[in-house]
Structure 1
Amino acid sequence: MQEYEKALAEISEIRERIAESTTFRGLGAAALAGTGLLAILTAALQAWLVPDLAATPLAYFGCWIVLACLCVAILGAEMVGRSRRRHGGLADAMIANAVLHFLPAGVAGAGLAALFYGFAPDSAWMLPGLWQILVALGIFAGLRSLPTGMAIVGAWYFLTGFTVLLVEVGTLVPSPFAMGIPFCVGQFLSAAVFRSSVGGIDG
């Protein structure tokens, strides 16, 4: 029995190593571009419907948090279905590997939002820039198993994060486009990278 369990553990370890060294193809261009469109549409709607965002900072950030959850759900469903088709028996290991790379950045982003809301609401203007930097760090953490061009996407989010922090410094509520434009362009860049890596608009 011990030998059987040891063999299973060794097989599991081998699968994990293979997953870490295999390029992840569990995302399609259409889903990635769709989340970019949602970002710019959200920014445009916020700018149009709520001209005085400073009066409703909670609604501003709450809207982006809801959108982030929606995008995670869209990409998560895409990732599960596509990975099973493209990676076969390695699908579960590939998904787990991808999620583990981005999980720390996601938890940190949620933690910062809770921290600013609860203890430092006057500093909440930093969230858009910090969120973009965290996305960049998540991408860089997973570069070994992502298509090569994703390094450009990581660099984009890193630069836009610091740019937003510089441009919006001291404002109570940043412009909606401080979120919409970086994420729209970043997701379209991601779509282009996955499309060129996998082939076809649907990967």
Structure 2
Amino acid sequence: MRDLDKALADIGAIRSQIAAGTAFRGYGPATMAATGAVALLTAILQFWLLGDPTGKPLGFFFGWFIAAALSVLMIGIEMRARSRRHHSGLADAMIHQAVEQFLPAGVAGVLLAVVLWKFAGETLWLLPGLWQILVSLGIFASVRSLPRTVALAGAWYFVSGFAVVVLASQTHTLSPWTMGLPFVIGQSVMAAILYVASGDHDVED
């Protein structure tokens, strides 16, 4: 049994090493663009329905939590289907690697929201910008297994995140547009990059 366990562990390690050196093709441009549409729709609905988001932070962040959950679900479903199609036997290892690269930024975003909500409610205006910065870090962490040009999307979120923090620092208010528009643009950039790279050029092999 020990020899069998060792052999299985060795096979798993080899598969992980192969996955680490293979370009991940689980993200599709259409779904990425659709997540941008979700962000735009969320911003429009909040603009119409919330009136003053700063006075209703629970409604504001709950709306964006739903938008994020829907986007993750859409990306996850397509990721699984495309990985099965493009990566065959390596699909599970590739998906695990993709999730592992972005997971720290996602967990940090959730914990940051909880901590600010619980202990520093007066600083919640920082969250939209900080979330964008965390998204940029997640994208940069994924560059080694995606088209190199996704770094442009990471750079956009990095710059927009700091710009949103600076803008919000003037009024300490929440706005659906400083949350929504950067994500609309960022996801559109990601979709365009993935579309251009779909012919297997500009991808690290």
So what's the TM-score if we normalise by structure 2?
Answer: 0.93
Q: Distance in 1 between matches of 2:70 and 2:126?
A: 22
1:142 counterpart SS class: helix
> Match of 2:171, as an amino acid?
T
C-alpha distance in structure 2 between counterparts of 1:175 and 1:30, whole Å: 27
Deviates more, 1:58-67 or 1:47-56: 47-56
What is the alpha-carbon distance in structure 2 between the residues aligned to residue 14 and residue 142 of structure 1?
Answer: 20
Instruction: For structure 1, list consecutive stretches of 5 or more residues without a partner in the other structure.
Output: none
Match of 1:178 in 2: 178
RMSD, aligned CA: 1.2
Match of 2:160 in 1: 160
Partner of residue 11, structure 2:
11
Match of 1:82 in 2: 82
Over 4 Å off, 4+ runs: none
Cα deviations by residue, 1:131-189 (Å, 9 ceiling, x for unpaired): 00000111111111111111101111100000000011153432111111110111111
Superposed displacement of residue 103, structure 1:
0.7
Preserved CA contact (<8 Å) 1:57 1:173: no
Paired with 1:54 and 1:10, the residues of 2 have a C-alpha distance of 54
Give 1:117 shift: 1.0
Provide structure 2 residue ranges, at least 5 long, that are not aligned to the other structure: 200-205
Identity %: 52
Q: Report the Cα distance in structure 1 between the residues aligned to 2:54 and 2:187, rounded to whole angstroms.
A: 27
Contact 2:136 2:155 in 1 (8 A): yes
* Amino acid in structure 2 at the alignment position of 1:132: Q
With normalisation by structure 1, the TM-score equals 0.94
Q: Which amino acid aligns with 1:36?
A: G
Residue 58 of structure 1 corresponds to which residue in structure 2? 58
- Looking at structure 2, the residues matched to 22 and 64 of structure 1 have their Cα atoms a distance apart, in angstroms, of 33
